């Protein structure tokens, strides 16, 4: 935390089209109600700007990387 604010970063960003990919997934992001609300605010802010937000868990990437890659490719 910096200045009382959580640090939330996008793991991968594309512009034109605007796509942001988060890789921590639900296991990390559902640790507390505060974390859930922080994440929702970040994602909502991105989506309100027209950004496509994609989120994947470790298991998504390790067990079905083809699906993850296809979803990202489709979004782009």
Q: Is 56 helix (H, G, I), strand (E, B) or coil?
A: coil
| Distance between CA atoms of residues 21 and 54, nearest Å | 5
pLDDT tens track for 1-55: 445 655 566 788 889 999 999 887 666 667 788 888 888 888 899 999 999 999 8
Q: Is the dihedral of CA 12, 72, 50, 58 positive or negative?
A: negative
User: What is the residue extent of each domain of the chain?
Assistant: 12-75
pLDDT tens track for 42-59: 889 999 999 999 988 888
| Distance between CA atoms of residues 75 and 50, nearest Å | 12
């Amino acid at each position: 935390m910096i200045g009382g604010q959580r640090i939330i970063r996008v793991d991968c960003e594309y512009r034109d089209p605007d796509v942001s990919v988060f890789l921590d997934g639900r296991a990390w992001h559902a640790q507390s109600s505060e974390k859930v609300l922080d994440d929702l605010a970040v994602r909502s802010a991105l989506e309100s700007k027209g950004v496509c937000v994609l989120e994947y868990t470790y298991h998504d990437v390790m067990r079905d990387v083809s699906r993850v890659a296809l979803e990202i490719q489709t979004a782009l």
